[in-house]
Amino acid sequence: MTTKKIGDVILDIKNISLRFGGVKALTDISFNVKEHEIRSIIGPNGAGKSSMLNCINGVYTPTEGSITFRGKTFDHMNSRQVAEMGVARTFQNLALFKGMSVLDNIMSGRNLKIKSNIFLQALRIGPAEKEEIQHREYVEQIIDFLEIQAFRKTPVGQLPYGLQKRVDLGRALAMEPQVLLLDEPMAGMNVEEKQDMSRFILDVNDEFGTTIVLIEHDMGVVMDISDRVVVLDYGKKIGDGSPEEVRNNEDVIRAYLGSSH
């Protein structure tokens, strides 16, 4: 493996707390993500991992703390603004249009990029037609990259689960994100599907230079592909460092031995 170049901090999470009524989902969490990194978030169920991603991409507004993206700090940001800034995500529970084809699902990720007037688009005239062709070409490249050419026209609901997860990744990639947030992209997959997904994540990181924040339960995968790992437990950060450091962290070992997930 060649040593890759990690850049400056692209995402800086500072003192984030999040409460739902009496539930403290996150308590005073700080960590950063550097450009070109694969940064994993691990922890037992209910630790606050998905909530953390939801704070980063504007679905939840943190009760306290701030998030700085490329030097711009925000404490209130809606999902669309975050997406426009170049942050895309996939979901723990798939959010695809099951009746629509693979091609159209991935195209739907492209909507933010489509600039021309919606009426011109509907009529497919002038700049709208040219733009549509360019977007289709980009989507076809993603389809090739993810090796799902054979299923371009297949309704997503008819595909095996592993391939649906791959389409979800494609939809996120269609946004040409600088940062990709992946919430358990390998959950429910068999060993072979996990290997495929790991390879695609590494390839996205390598070929497009995309920074990746990954939530994953499979420790083998996490230790294999992450540059750094942050560990949450009951909404608190209990570890942060290289896979090696995290693996040897007493608090982390205790949290994992004491939990059944």
Ligand X SMILES: Nc1ncnc2c1ncn2[C@@H]1O[C@H](COP(=O)(O)OP(=O)(O)O)[C@@H](O)[C@H]1O
| Residue 40 contacts which entry, ligand X, Mg ion, none (Cβ below 5-8 A, type-dependent) | none
The residue (of 51 and 105) whose beta carbon lies closer to ligand X is: 51
The only residue of 49, 110, 228, 237 in contact with ligand X, by rule CB under 6 A = 49
Least distance (Å) from Mg ion to the CB of residue 146?
A: 24
Strand partners, 88: 180
Q: Which stretch binds ligand X (CB under 6 A): 41-49, 68-76, 123-131, 186-194?
A: 41-49
Which amino acid would we find at residue 241? G
Least distance (Å) from ligand X to the CB of residue 63?
A: 12
| Residue 23 contacts which entry, ligand X, Mg ion, none (Cβ below 5-8 A, type-dependent) | ligand X
The only residue of 6, 8, 20, 147 in contact with ligand X, by rule CB under 6 A = 20
Angle 191-203/161-173 helices, nearest 10 degrees? 10
**Nearest CA-CA partner of 234 in 217, 214, 251:** 251
| Residue 146 contacts which entry, ligand X, Mg ion, none (Cβ below 5-8 A, type-dependent) | none
Residues that bind Mg ion (CB under 5 A): 50
- Residue 188 CA to residue 171 CA, distance in Å, equals 19
Judging by beta carbons within 10 Å of its beta carbon (0-12, 13-18, 19+), is residue 33 exposed, middle or buried?
A: buried
Q: In what order do the strands lie in the sheet with 64-69?
A: 23-34, 9-20, 64-69, 72-74
**Nearest CA-CA partner of 142 in 214, 183, 200, 84:** 200
Instruction: Tell me the two tokens of residue 87.
Output: 């942050």
Q: Which residue has the tokens 């980063």?
A: 56
| Residue 51 contacts which entry, Mg ion, ligand X, none (Cβ below 5-8 A, type-dependent) | ligand X
Residues 55-74 that bind ligand X (CB under 6 A): none
The only residue of 51, 105, 164, 198 in contact with ligand X, by rule CB under 6 A = 51
28 membership: H or E segment, kind and range: strand 23-34
| Residue 48 contacts which entry, Mg ion, ligand X, none (Cβ below 5-8 A, type-dependent) | ligand X
Least distance (Å) from Mg ion to the CB of residue 92?
A: 5
125 interacts with ligand X by CB under 6 A: no
**Beta strands of 43-151 (E only): which ranges?**
64-69, 72-74, 87-90
The residue (of 47 and 201) whose beta carbon lies closer to ligand X is: 47
Residue 224, classed as helix, strand or coil, is helix
Reported residue count of the chain is: 261
16 interacts with ligand X by CB under 6 A: no
48 interacts with ligand X by CB under 6 A: yes
Least distance (Å) from Mg ion to the CB of residue 207?
A: 28
- Residue 229 CA to residue 226 CA, distance in Å, equals 7
Binding site for ligand X (CB under 6 A): 20, 23, 25, 43, 45-51
